[in-house]
Amino acid sequence: MSKERIILGIDPGTTIMGFGLIKVVGKTMSFLQLNELDLKKYDDHYLKLKLIFERTIELIDTHHPDEIAIEAPFFGKNVQSMLKLGRAQGVAMAAGLSREIPITEYSPKKIKMAITGNGNASKEQVAKMLQSVLGLKTLPKNLDATDGLAAAVCHFYNEGRIDVGKNYTGWAAFVKDNEGRVKK
């Protein structure tokens, strides 16, 4: 008999935190829940972080996930937004770590690629594919919830795969691809 596992996917944010849960039995996944934590009405950034932590703990204590998949912040032009997003991700991760749940981070492109086959897919394309794959009757108004669900599904699809990283044709190709991170 195959062991049942639960995967919690989180799309962290300080305005809306999206999340979704799937159940995995053997090689089959099924939909459990998707929702969001709406933080728009709060002005205090630290209160938002506290609420993200508390909601993540509540999800963990209610659903007992075996693993957490979380969307990694992407680098944008606004440094302040990036810092806030990183903090939101950090407190969600801290909640999982406080309950000793393994956490895996996925870039937005990797999640989109896993769900749609296109790393540049729109939120709508990701949501529609999840709707099709998981048999969701309706989609939420805000697609942050489906982004959280997508992280969980991406984790399921990537199980057992070893990420060997990029291949380079030589040192010059490596340096060109990593400019700014490599001292010349």
Check 43, 66, 67, 71 and give the catalytic one.
71
Check 11, 36, 67, 147 and give the catalytic one.
11
Q: Is 38 one of the annotated binding-site residues? A: no
Pair 150, 156: CB distance under 8 Å: no
Q: Is 147 one of the annotated binding-site residues? A: no
Check 36, 67, 144, 147 and give the catalytic one.
144
**Six-digit token string for 63:** 């659903």
Q: Any catalytic annotation for residue 11? A: yes
The residues, any chain, with a CB within 8 Å of residue 50's CB and separated by 6 or more, are: 91
Q: Is 144 one of the annotated binding-site residues? A: yes
Provide the edge-to-edge strand list for the sheet that holds 16-25: 28-38, 16-25, 4-11, 67-71, 103-106
Q: Any catalytic annotation for residue 144? A: yes
Please give the C-alpha separations between residue 51 and each of 14, 43, 47, 64, 133, in angstroms, as whole numbers: 10, 12, 6, 19, 31
Q: Any catalytic annotation for residue 177? A: no
Point out the residues that are catalytic. 11, 71, 144
Binding-site residues from annotation: 11, 71, 144
Binding-site residues from annotation for Mg(2+): 11, 71, 144
